[in-house]
Every structure is written in C-alpha cells, then in structure tokens.
Amino acid sequence: AIFLNIFAAYAITEPQCNYYYNIIRENNPEVTTWIDQIPRQQFTLAYDEGKRRGHLTTNLAKAINSILKKTRNLPISSIVLVTYTRCNAFFTERGKQITAMISDDHVYFEFDRNITRFKVEEMVNPREIRPARKFVVILDERWCDCDRFQKIHLSCSHVLAVCKHAHHDFNIYISRYYRLDVIMKVYNNMFWELRHEEY
C-alpha cells in the first residue's frame, strides 16, 4: 500500500492520481480516510498547481541523507556535530562545482519568438497497441497537454520537439529554480560555529 501512496503522490496527471487513489481505496479504505484529511494539493504533483516543484525538494533531502550515513547510533551531541561538519563540507564542495559550471557558461538566456503554439503528434511505435497521441504545446504559457511541463517545470519531450522545430532555446522554458545560479544560493551560505556548545 505504501508504494501505491507514492505512485498516487508522484502521478503527474489527475487521472493517474485518481487511478492509484481508487486502488488504495479498494485495498485499504482506512488509508484513504486518512489521506482525505490532507488537501490533495499538499501531497500530490497532479493537484499542486505547480507549486511543489516536483523533485527538487526530494533530491536535496536525498543529498542531505547521504551526508548523515552511519550516524544513527551516535549520541545526539555527536550527531549534531557530525551533521554540522559534513553539511559544511558538502555545501563547500557543491558550491565549488556549481561555481565551475557557471564559469563554463552553463547559463541560459531569455528571448522572444513570435510562434508559440504548436500541435505535436507522437510517432507511432509498431510494437505498441495504443494509437499515436496528439499534444498541444503553448510555449509562452508554458503549457503542454501531457501536464509534465506545468507540474515539474522542466521541458517535456513535446516541448523539446517544438523547440527543435522552431529553433527555440529549450532552456528558457525551464524553471529558474533549476538554474545553477539559483542552486548556488543554496550552497553559498556559511556555516558558523554554534555558540555555548561543548563538543
């Protein structure tokens, strides 16, 4: 049941989310009673109106978790010290990496184009039974019928195809939260010693 909860939370479209929700309800009605107490926009990508930023939080949490390996059996004061020391080292290293990437001109530029509305038809795969689907892409509204563009704030395959066709730079359609200079701000803070603490 926990995997179904995860699938429901990470489903990008509302029908996908509802599909997993209905499976959970059939298998374990108590779970859905509990889930119904939480507003859907707070725990699902499909209903969050693009505010959760997809996996950014998850990736940062995973990065911090990797720092804290092998600290579970230590006393609290040691865990705090190890956390502080390792986070400081991690942020320093990540800051250096992103500074190097920025100095190598890994930044995107914004510009306007007149043509922004497209219809994309997927190629038919002879090994698949389903017919080719069609998607409307509206670049200036950052819209694609597949919903990935709106939910994750990254260019989906349909947006990439449109950008290639129209000679647009797809990078301008990526949320600023994925930009290296914004990520650099996360790792740019200093770690100061804790006052009045005995180590």
Quick: pLDDT tens for 22-32.
888 888 888 88
Across residues 8-14, what is the average pLDDT? 75
Confidence at residue 106, expressed as pLDDT on a 0 to 100 scale? 56
Please check the confidence at residue 108 and state whether its pLDDT lies above 60.
no
pTM of the model: 0.44
Across residues 68-86, what is the average pLDDT? 77
Dist. CA 197–CA 149, nearest whole Å = 47
Please check the confidence at residue 53 and state whether its pLDDT lies above 50.
no
Q: Do 128 and 99 share a structural domain?
A: no
Q: How far is CA 47 from the centre of its chain?
A: 15
Please check the confidence at residue 185 and state whether its pLDDT lies above 60.
yes
Establish if 147 belongs to a structural domain. Answer: yes
Q: Do 62 and 29 share a structural domain?
A: no
Establish if 192 belongs to a structural domain. Answer: no
Establish if 28 belongs to a structural domain. Answer: yes
| C-beta separation of 164 from 118 below 8 A | no
Count of domains forming the chain: 3
Q: Do 94 and 136 share a structural domain?
A: no
Establish if 196 belongs to a structural domain. Answer: no
The alpha carbon torsion through 179, 181, 186, 192 (nearest 10 deg) reads: 170
Establish if 51 belongs to a structural domain. Answer: no
Please check the confidence at residue 56 and state whether its pLDDT lies above 70.
no
Across residues 119-140, what is the average pLDDT? 80
Query: Looking at the DSSP assignment, which residues form a beta bridge with residue 120?
Result: 135
Establish if 47 belongs to a structural domain. Answer: no
Structure tokens at 131: 């017919």
Establish if 33 belongs to a structural domain. Answer: yes
Across all residues in the chain, what is the average pLDDT?
76
Confidence at residue 182, expressed as pLDDT on a 0 to 100 scale? 83
Domain range holding 161? 117-173
Across residues 98-123, what is the average pLDDT? 65
Establish if 71 belongs to a structural domain. Answer: yes
Q: Percentage of the chain with pLDDT > 70? A: 77
Q: Do 122 and 103 share a structural domain?
A: no
Q: Do 95 and 123 share a structural domain?
A: no
Q: What is the pLDDT of residues 150-182, one digit of tens each?
A: 888 888 888 988 888 887 888 888 888 888 888
Name the pLDDT band for 7 (thresholds 50, 70, 90).
low
Please check the confidence at residue 92 and state whether its pLDDT lies above 70.
yes
Name the pLDDT band for 111 (thresholds 50, 70, 90).
very low
Can you tell me whether residue 30 is helix, strand or coil?
helix
Please check the confidence at residue 60 and state whether its pLDDT lies above 60.
no
